[in-house]
Amino acid sequence: MPVKGRIEVKELLCKGCELCVGACPQHVIILSPDRINAKGYHPATLAVEGCTGCGICSLVCPEAAITVYRDGSKINKLNV
Ligand code: SF4
Ligand code: SF4
């Protein structure tokens, strides 16, 4: 059974730097084109299914804005 991951982005913390977008090996993160946070940035979001819950996006985010879940459980370290 394939691993299922998902992320939660604290939109208020996101500064739209796209580090997570570039780092995601599954290419499933985009900056939301139709949302703007209180700082004026388009926040990161999952664009499509396919997140494995590897945790890389959370690791590279300078704002600690991303929480990663793998098979329903929050992960606290890199899980590749
Ligand atoms: S946990 Fe891994 S696969 Fe999922 S969005 Fe983050 S970098 Fe991409
Ligand atoms: S790395 Fe963090 S701050 Fe940068 S776009 Fe992704 S979620 Fe936002």
What is the rounded average pLDDT of the residues 47-73?
Answer: 96
Burial class of residue 76 (count of CB atoms within 10 Å of its CB; 0-12, 13-18, 19+): exposed
Pairwise CA distance, residues 37 & 80, whole Å: 30
- Please identify which residue in the block is written with the tokens 């899980």: 79
- Band (67; pLDDT cuts 50, 70, 90): very high
- Band (78; pLDDT cuts 50, 70, 90): low
Instruction: For residue 57, report the distance from its CA to the centre of ligand 1, in Å.
Output: 6
Q: Determine the straight-line distance between the first and last CA of the chain, rounded to whole angstroms.
A: 17
| pLDDT confidence of residue 2 | 66
What is the rounded average pLDDT of the residues 37-47?
Answer: 97
Ligand 1 pocket residue status of 65, Cβ below 6 Å: no
Pairwise CA distance, residues 13 & 25, whole Å: 23
Ligand 1 pocket residue status of 61, Cβ below 6 Å: no
Instruction: For residue 8, report the distance from its CA to the centre of ligand 2, in Å.
Output: 11
CATH number of this structure's domain 5-74:
3.30.70.3270
Computed over every residue of the chain, the mean pLDDT equals 93
Ligand 2 pocket residue status of 24, Cβ below 6 Å: no
